[in-house]
Each structure stands twice: as structure tokens, then as C-alpha cells.
Amino acid sequence: MSASPPIDTERPPSGRIIFVSAIFAAAACGIVYELIAGTLSSYLLGDSITQFSLIIGLFLTAMGVGSFLSRFITRDLIAWFVLGQVAVGLVGGFAALIGFAAFAYTDLCQPILYGLVVVVGSLVGLEIPLVVRILRNLSTLRGTLANVLSADYLGALAASVVFPFALLPRFGLVGAGMLAGLVNVLVGGAVLWRFRGDVRRMSGVLAPSIVLAIVALGAGLGFSHRIVGRLEGALYQDEIVYTKQSQYQLIVITRWRNDLRLYLNRHLQFAAIDEYRYHEALVLPAMEAAARRQRVLILGGGDGLAARQVFKYRDVERVDLVDLDPAVTDLFQTAPMLTNLNKNSLNDPRLHIHNTDAFRFLQDSTDLYDVVLIDLPDPSRAELGKLYSRTFYGLVGRHLAEGGVMTCQSTSPFRSRSAFWCIAHTAAAAQWGPEGSLQMEVRPYHTLVPTFGTWGFILAGVRLPPTTDLKISVPSDYITTAFLPGLFVFPPDMSDIETPISDLDDPKVVELYEYGYHKILD
């Protein structure tokens, strides 16, 4: 049996402590870079599952490459560790900024992002092998590996908690990257200071590099919001009047003359010049088809525009609005330009805001509603697919009072015909009640919103009145009694087609949605 390496008694335990602490901080920064890359690629390129899968795979592979390459570093291990911290701090710190710039000004965003991930992953992969070799004379190999790997995993855990709840909302993607870069460089500086006697041969290079990196990253952090504002300005046609990175999404509002537009993660949500067409089509048919209108549930609709239409009906007594992101509802409750647009609907005493997931709200609530209005994002990602599943519509059905109805925005029957009819068929297949005895009658309809083109909806309920009996009883700018029946008539190129049912474990609607839009764009 081989003996454990002897402990170097000339170095106090503080040397071991500082390196273990360095691994904790470096691991946290590495996870932050990985999360930033995954979030940025999902935000810019779409398809979050594919992008996160590729980013994680590339990052881990690159870490393996970095670990392999560490074998070729045979001297000045501490100096190389410090240099690695400076390099990963600079590349990782500026990665999000470079990614934004590449998307705004080139057609090479994807390869540039993936290249940055490989570089950062390789530099992160160098860290643990170097530290283990540095510490092998301060402890047994068993103790060294246990300490280093424990610090590495704990650092990763810390970053995975801090990133979504603190770093991203407070600093945004670019600022969070700069801050992580600063931490890496400061770790390198602390190690250099503690072991300055061991790296005299390279201190003339390392010390100035650390100072310059701190200045660059500090300046980048200080001006990150201004820099991102300029880059985002290149991504939008109109003047940006508001931008904020919330815990869940990037919120951007643009203005051109009197037209305000809301973008969430770069996806247009409404244009003030014609949003009334969409929201009248979403709200008025359901409000007129319901047996009563006292209690209304809005899933999504954090901009208050659907609620504005609901409050046209004086017999409405209570509205529950469920929107995941408090940053959106707070904005549309307080910003004068937006409260003017939604007629201050979110501050109406009859309206109650619930900032939670729509699926979870339906699971936890026992309330019944006369009208349920579903104004959720399109099923463009797997995590949104559950909101268009048979299970979800079954939950909605359980919350319908007798004579209650539901309307759901259902994407474009022209651009994504299969996804639209999949939503309609899935809602019709939903069952609830004793032994699944209750189902909804579903009536698809569509309208034209100039900004979006042809847009589709479904009207559903256990028992629906004839479409010809619906009368619009409130003032409107678009939907009238005479106009309403025509919304339920589809031309041949948007007519009903056979589709699968979308379930929680197999969200077919997401696949159909992506295929439909890619087919149109190609």
C-alpha cells in the first residue's frame, strides 16, 4: 500500500482553506455562466429544452476537455490557476454581452454562443485538477478530494438558488455575468496575494492582468443596463420606453407615436393600435354565452386588457386574475401610460390578482366561475404545453359553474393550423366529474388582428347556446351582434383537420406549433 503524500508543515492551514473557498466561489461562477448561456440561447434562439440540453452537454464536455488539458501543465500550478480565474472571469463575464451583440449585428449568434460555452467550460474544467494537485501536499488525497468536491458541489447549489431569485432579477443576464466574472478575478487575486511568494516569476504578468480585468468588468457592470439598452434598441423597430428583467422573463415596452407594444422575451404580446380586436374577440363571446357573469376567472392577462373588457359588464361582481409574473401586473397597475390603456382595470376593487402558476391555481382552488378567460402564451415551449393539455382543460371544467363557459386563445389557425385544431380537440376530450361524465362542447372561432394576422380562439362549455342567439350587449369597437356569427365560419385553408390529443406527458401541441410556424417561415 502506498503512503499518503506528506503534509507540508511550512504552509499553515489557511492555504488549504483559501483554495477550498476558491473552488466554492469558482464553482458558483461556473454554474452562473452555464445558466446565463442556457437562458440567453433560449431567449434569443427559442426552444428552451433544445437550447438548455445543448448548452449543458457542451459545457460538461468542455469541462472534460479542460480537465484533460490540465495534465500538460507541469509547473507554476498556482500561477496557472490564477491565470485561469482571470481568463474565465473575462470570457464568462462578457459572454452574455457578446451574445447579445452577435444576435443584434450578425448572423452568427448560435456558433458564437456555443463557442463561448466551450471556452468557458474548458477553463472551468481546469480548476479542480489544478487545485487537487496544489493541495496534495497539504492533506491526504482522500481528504483533498472530499474537501474540493464538496466545495464544488455546494458552490453549484448556491449559484442555482441565487441566480433565479437574486442575480437575474437584480442585474439581468449581462450584469449577472459581469458580477460572476468579477468574483472569479477576485478569487484569482486573493490566491495570488496569499501565495505571492510562490509565483514571483509570473507576478509581473498576473497582477496587472487582475487589475485590468477588475477595471473592465467593473465598468461593464456599472454600464450594463445602458449597454443592454443600446443592444436591445437594435432588436426592436421602435423606441424602448421600458425594460426590465424579472425573475421569469424580459419585459420590454416600445412606443411609436401612439402605439405602445409589449414584448415578453422578445415575443410581441400586443400592439395598442389594434389590441381591442383581440381582446373583444377573447372576452365578449364568452361573456354573452354564459348563463351568469358574476364571477370571472382570467388566466394570464396580466396587462389588464382582458379585464378592461370584462368590466364593461356591470353585473360582474368579482374577477380573479392569475398571472405568474408580479413584475407585469405591478407595471400595468402603476405606469400611467399603461393604466390609461387598460382603463385602470387592475386597480378595480372587484379584481383580485394572484401571482402564481395557472395550473397550480386551478389545482389548489375550489371556487366556481361563470366565465373563464384563458389568455396565456402560445404553446411554443414544453413548459407551456401543460397549459394546453387535456388535464389542464379538465381542471378548467371543474371550475365552471352551471351554465359557465370558457374562452381560450388558441394561436393562429392559418400559421399553425394543426396546433389550433389540436387545442380544440384536446379541450373537447377533457373529462371531469363523477367517472369523467362531464365534457365540454367546443366551438372554434377566429378573427383578424392586423398586427398578428388571423388569430384563433375556442369557446367551450358543457352546454352552449346557439351562436346565432348571442347578442353583444355592451359598447364595442369591433365585435358586433351582426358580425359575431361569421367568426365561427372557417375557410377551407383553416378548416378542421385530424390531430392528436395533447397530454401532460406528451405535449403534442408544442411539436405541432413549432412545425406550423417553421413551415410558414420556410
Cα–Cα nearest to 272, from 453, 412, 409, 451: 451
Joined together, the cell numbers standing for residue 158 give 448556491
* Sign, CA torsion 353/355/358/359: negative
Q: List the Cα angle 203/208/211 in 5-degree steps.
A: 125
Measure the CA–CA gap between 240 and 229, rounded to whole angstroms: 8
The 8 Å CB, 24+ separation contacts for 195-202 are: 195/15, 195/78, 198/78, 199/76, 199/78, 199/79, 199/82, 201/76, 201/79, 202/76, 202/79, 202/83
Q: Which residues pair with 74 in a beta bridge?
A: none
CA gyration radius, the chain: 28
Please tell me what DSSP assigns to residue 377: P
Please tell me what DSSP assigns to residue 16: H
Measure the CA–CA gap between 9 and 250, rounded to whole angstroms: 53
* Sign, CA torsion 98/101/107/110: positive
> How many helices (DSSP H) and strands (DSSP E) are in the chain?
17, 11
Residues with Cβ within 8 Å of residue 232, at least 6 apart in sequence: 100, 240, 243, 252
Which are the catalytic amino acids?
A: 375
Joined together, the cell numbers standing for residue 193 give 496575494
Residues with Cβ within 8 Å of residue 233, at least 6 apart in sequence: 239, 240
